[in-house]
Structure 1
């Protein structure tokens, strides 16, 4: 996965429910791999942000243009590498991203619901309210065996999580 490896750098989609640390861990993983990072929330249309800010979960139709924008970014980074965050909670969302950028791999950040809720309550200025956490967990379909990716627990410091994530991604690439 690193830019010094013998294979072309891959595009990594950092996925998971809100509060798992995608925005914290994604840039750290990108830095460790020597590739650019893109914040998935920045790809949301304004209507999606308004809906989530109001505590209304997004539906599949709301997510389609967002996933397509992330998919275009990932496609454009093919062979160059990159890391982008996206909840990618359902298999159909990950399939849509893979259709746009067939080489993407997923880094699924997982964790105990209580830990994630505490982290969400501590953050400030984010449009996703803690009230939507239950809908996120209800929607989540973890990575399946046939999907390229790894799952990493989010307990510990950002540095510890990043170290585990990068090691898992490098094993996957090997």
Structure 2
């Protein structure tokens, strides 16, 4: 059983780690709602990334404000809200967490090797994030002790099972 106060789960990690697939499966399993944070990027951010230019913090702050508002809105609409968002730096996670009470929002890092993630990025089609930005994302990734880490070196269903087991252990 998950902690009763838990309302939001942010599935985080670098591009290609499986946030959308895993987040969608997790929300389905929890009978909650899943959304991909990438869907909330303004067109200018998507164009910048598509051209191979990493976003800077000035590009990100309005996007994180939108995601935080979405977290608050969804708490009134569903028992569990699962959001896929890279959330690579502690300050980004702080923006998403805002003033939440402890335990109402958890970050789950989909953790894998550069080689595995690069392979996955190379296999996907139609995503605006080019493989060339993987190195910059890995360099930016700064997991803190409060982030729950789950290995992506398994099937999406096994990853979801690991997430649920890890979250239940924190109850």
Note if 1:127 corresponds to 2:124: no
Note if 1:39 corresponds to 2:36: yes
Instruction: Report 1:1-174 matches (<5 A).
Output: 7-78=4-75, 80-99=79-98, 101-102=100-101, 103-142=104-143, 144-145=144-145, 147=146, 149-172=147-170, 174=171
Between 1 and 2, higher relative CO (CA 8 Å, sep ≥ 6) is seen in 2
Structure 2: 5+ residue stretches without partners: none
Q: How far does residue 150 in structure 1 lie from its aligned partner after superposition? A: 1.0
Kept in 2, the 8 Å contact 1:33–1:166? The answer is no
**For residues 69-89 of structure 1, what are the alpha-carbon distances to aligned partners after superposition, in whole Å with 9 as ceiling and x for unaligned?**
111111123363210010000
**For residues 96-136 of structure 1, what are the alpha-carbon distances to aligned partners after superposition, in whole Å with 9 as ceiling and x for unaligned?**
11116553210111101100000000000000000000000
Kept in 1, the 8 Å contact 2:6–2:106? The answer is no
Output the CA distance in 2 between the equivalents of 1:16 and 1:100: 22
Aligned residues: 167
Q: How far does residue 32 in structure 1 lie from its aligned partner after superposition? A: 1.2
SS in 2 for 1:83: strand
TM-score (norm 1): 0.90
SS in 1 for 2:64: helix
SS in 2 for 1:109: strand
Output the CA distance in 2 between the equivalents of 1:120 and 1:170: 31
After superposing on structure 2, the runs of 4+ consecutive aligned residues of structure 1 that deviate more than 6 Å are none
TM-score (norm 2): 0.92
Say if 1:101 and 1:65 are closer, same or farther in 2 by CA, change over 3 A. Answer: farther
Say if 1:18 and 1:117 are closer, same or farther in 2 by CA, change over 3 A. Answer: same
SS in 2 for 1:125: coil
Q: How far does residue 140 in structure 1 lie from its aligned partner after superposition? A: 0.6
Output the CA distance in 2 between the equivalents of 1:171 and 1:31: 20
Structure 1: 5+ residue stretches without partners: none
